[in-house]
Structure 1
Amino acid sequence: MKILMVSIPSLHFFRWTSQLQDSGHEVYWFDITGMSEKSERLNWVSQKVSWKLKWNYPGRLFVKKKFPKVYQFLQHFNEYKTSSVFEEYLNEIEPDVVHSFALYLSCTPIISVMEKKSNQKWIYSSWGSDLFYFQNDEKYLKDIKRVLPRVNYLFTDCKRDYEIAKEHGFSGDFLGVFPGGGGFDLAHMEQYKLPNEQRKTILIKGFQGRSGRAISVLKGIECLKKELIDYNIVVFGADDEVFNYVKYSVLKDWFNFQIKGKMSHQEVIQLMGQSKIYIGNSNSDGIPNTLLEAICMEIFPIQSNPGGATEEIINHHINGMLIEDCENVYEIKKIILEAISFLPTANYDKRKLLPELDSAYLQEKVQKIYTNLIA
């Protein structure tokens, strides 16, 4: 079977595609950005990359950085059209199925081609905010309503998004709910887990920006200095907005508070292995991969619940806690206090979800799904 993947070069995409290695399928990747180099991680995949520029002229990056408007004008003449290059590659490969990851990134740019090739089977994987957030924007909703009726098959990372997809025109076959990046190597992660009694860290995801709401969490803990004195509080993956907030916050003077910027995936997993509580807060997401990794590392999770997605895997006050209003500092503070009180008496099976998140288990399921598409 020939499978043509269409995606940006992201960790989630690489991890998902790795599930097909040694499956017997021929796998191709069309890098929708057209700007990346070949991925060594996917060296077994045929890759269409670095196709975007007609001429990579000297000083291009300097012009892009210093004169962005001039750069945009020049690129209008210096870039190949995505749909044209994709159509040429599609005709060359003649795949059994095309698989696009993220609607506005990898479906919308090729929809004109896929409408023309109406008999070409097409899978769409919904990621995070793909449908839940962007359905509220008129421009994106127009794209959503154009793409979904054409799509034949759908993967989502939560049940919520399957319902949203049906509302906006999807009538094809639902292939199931899977983590956006596939499963997790539980055996590898095991080595980084400290015994529960040795864990003293509260780990906070530091995203703000469009959908992250880390600052609401920080505001919630500012008045809990006494209650959190025995914990190390670590913010990871913090963006500039969060760093700037902390700079003028009382938190900067706490001896047990740390803020870290971008970290490697391996560093995050190691940090999780030392953590007792994980907090992720946003106004839009599906089932966050970081949350699933926290569950794999047996951390007690506190997570926002946009559109009811997170409650699909977290039972409030049983295997974690849900933030219903990501902006409500009082609610967040109250939940953190409840979690600290709850942990010593918690009696739940931390490993209940783990078998269903294991990479080997999910890889077998995913390979069967692809195979059955042409059975």
Structure 2
Amino acid sequence: MLYGPKVLARLIRKLKPDLVHSLEFQHCGYNVLKAKELYGSGFPKWLATNWGSDIYYYRQFEDHQSQISRLLKSVDYYSCECERDVQLALKLGLTAPVMSVMPNTGGFDLSKLEGVRAIHPPSKRRILMVKGYQHFAGRALTALDALERCAQELKSYLVVVFSASPEIYARVDELRDYVGINIRILPHTSHDAMLRMFSRARIYLGVSVSDAISTSMLEAMAMGAFPIQTDTSCCTEWIECGKSGFQIPADNPEVIAERIKMALANDDLVEVAAELNWKTTQERLDRRLLSKKAEGFYRAIFSAE
């Protein structure tokens, strides 16, 4: 268990970096925490960035909560992509400076997206994109249960499940063969191909018990798909429920189905949402602006030396 931290401590002693920046807590952050304890005095400044579920989900487990709290009390700087996580970190003992909240993805090249997203008007699109994760946080089976309740409304649509976990394959087959939904699993594909798929989708659906922003939701927003995302993410920091998207519970397929039906039936809703979300994309997801913001992290840290 100490192999990774010991090697890391030796590397830090040898390379003498000015800053250690850990990305993610449960593997990278915990390793740095132990390496710092092994290293002793003189450890470099440490900037810790948490990803989606690092605090929100794992804080509910006693052993993890203790580790997270120790980590947060040990860092010199902290960054994340949700205001929600800032508040959670402070409650768990963070006293270090907090960097500007920004998406961990780094944003998009808007010049590449603009022409592609405009080809198909959102109200004319006939595809639903569904996140297929079924694991500690993902609840794709709940999403599929909701889709079954929309079978009649989906008669003229194609449902595409991406990032599908093996656990959902049989359920997808069942919905296709016995319920009559036109549904398929998208094989692994490139990021550009995924963005093109979102540009053809009327709706994006993501169901999980824990997440941060959800990168796929941001991609959907940027490409004009109407986002329907669980309220266990930070989606409310990006969309206005009922106007530019829907926030949904993670464990209620009936409610999720009702929101899907509303987005299928209301052309004005999806058209207006696409305009609002493109404005948000321009203001908050431009790669050029976010790269300067990230660079500012390091400048601020080094200027404080």
Give TM-score, length-normalised by structure 1: 0.74
The CA deviation string for residues 18-60 of structure 1, in whole angstroms up to 9 with x for no partner, is xxxxxxxxxxxxxxxxxxxxxxxxxxxxxxxxxxxxxxxxxxx
Aligned to 1:224, the other structure's residue is in SS state coil
Paired residues of 2:175 and 2:183 also in contact (CA < 8 A): no
Aligned to 1:322, the other structure's residue is in SS state strand
Amino acid at match of 1:370: Y
Paired residues of 1:207 and 1:239 also in contact (CA < 8 A): yes
Distance 2:42 2:77 in 1: 14
Paired residues of 2:155 and 2:181 also in contact (CA < 8 A): no
Residue of structure 1 equivalent to 2:291: 363
Residue of structure 1 equivalent to 2:162: 236
Q: Which has the larger radius of gyration?
A: 1
The structure 2 residue matched to 1:322, chosen from 229, 247, 266, is 247
Distance 2:154 2:5 in 1: 54
Paired residues of 1:203 and 1:234 also in contact (CA < 8 A): yes
Aligned to 2:141, the other structure's residue is in SS state helix
**Residue 148 of structure 2 corresponds to residue 222 of structure 1:** yes
Paired residues of 1:238 and 1:262 also in contact (CA < 8 A): no
Residue of structure 2 equivalent to 1:88: 10
Paired residues of 1:156 and 1:177 also in contact (CA < 8 A): yes
Amino acid at match of 1:351: W
Aligned to 1:233, the other structure's residue is in SS state strand
The CA deviation string for residues 209-267 of structure 1, in whole angstroms up to 9 with x for no partner, is 11111111111121322212222211111111111222334566636322224333232
User: Displacement, 1:173?
Assistant: 0.5
Q: Structure 2 vs 1, CA of residues 255 and 104 (structure 1 numbering), >3 Å: closer, same or farther?
A: closer
Paired residues of 1:82 and 1:109 also in contact (CA < 8 A): yes
**Residue 101 of structure 2 corresponds to residue 101 of structure 1:** no
Q: Structure 2 vs 1, CA of residues 118 and 335 (structure 1 numbering), >3 Å: closer, same or farther?
A: farther
The structure 1 residue matched to 2:208, chosen from 279, 282, 306, is 282
User: Displacement, 1:321?
Assistant: 0.6
The structure 2 residue matched to 1:147, chosen from 71, 77, 80, is 71
Aligned length: 295
Paired residues of 1:222 and 1:251 also in contact (CA < 8 A): no
Paired residues of 2:172 and 2:184 also in contact (CA < 8 A): no
Residue of structure 1 equivalent to 2:279: 352
Aligned to 2:202, the other structure's residue is in SS state strand
Residue of structure 2 equivalent to 1:66: none
The CA deviation string for residues 104-144 of structure 1, in whole angstroms up to 9 with x for no partner, is 11111231332424652111111000000000111111211
**Residue 104 of structure 2 corresponds to residue 180 of structure 1:** yes
Distance 1:338 1:165 in 2: 36
Paired residues of 1:280 and 1:303 also in contact (CA < 8 A): yes
User: Displacement, 1:283?
Assistant: 0.4
Distance 1:117 1:263 in 2: 46
Distance 2:251 2:161 in 1: 18
Aligned to 2:94, the other structure's residue is in SS state coil
Paired residues of 1:283 and 1:304 also in contact (CA < 8 A): yes
Distance 1:251 1:185 in 2: 40
Aligned to 1:360, the other structure's residue is in SS state helix
The structure 2 residue matched to 1:305, chosen from 220, 227, 231, is 231
Gaps of 5+ in 2: none
Aligned to 1:285, the other structure's residue is in SS state coil
* Higher RCO (CA 8 Å, separation ≥ 6 residues): 2
- Report percent identity of matched pairs: 28
The CA deviation string for residues 354-375 of structure 1, in whole angstroms up to 9 with x for no partner, is 1210111100111122112111
User: Displacement, 1:164?
Assistant: 0.7
Paired residues of 2:148 and 2:179 also in contact (CA < 8 A): no
Aligned to 1:175, the other structure's residue is in SS state coil
Gaps of 5+ in 1: 1-75
Q: Structure 2 vs 1, CA of residues 170 and 252 (structure 1 numbering), >3 Å: closer, same or farther?
A: farther
Aligned to 2:155, the other structure's residue is in SS state coil
Distance 2:161 2:178 in 1: 12
Matches within 5 A, 1:183-194: 183-193=107-117, 194=119
Q: Structure 2 vs 1, CA of residues 252 and 263 (structure 1 numbering), >3 Å: closer, same or farther?
A: farther
The CA deviation string for residues 250-307 of structure 1, in whole angstroms up to 9 with x for no partner, is 566636322224333232112111111111110001111111111111211000011x
Distance 1:354 1:103 in 2: 27
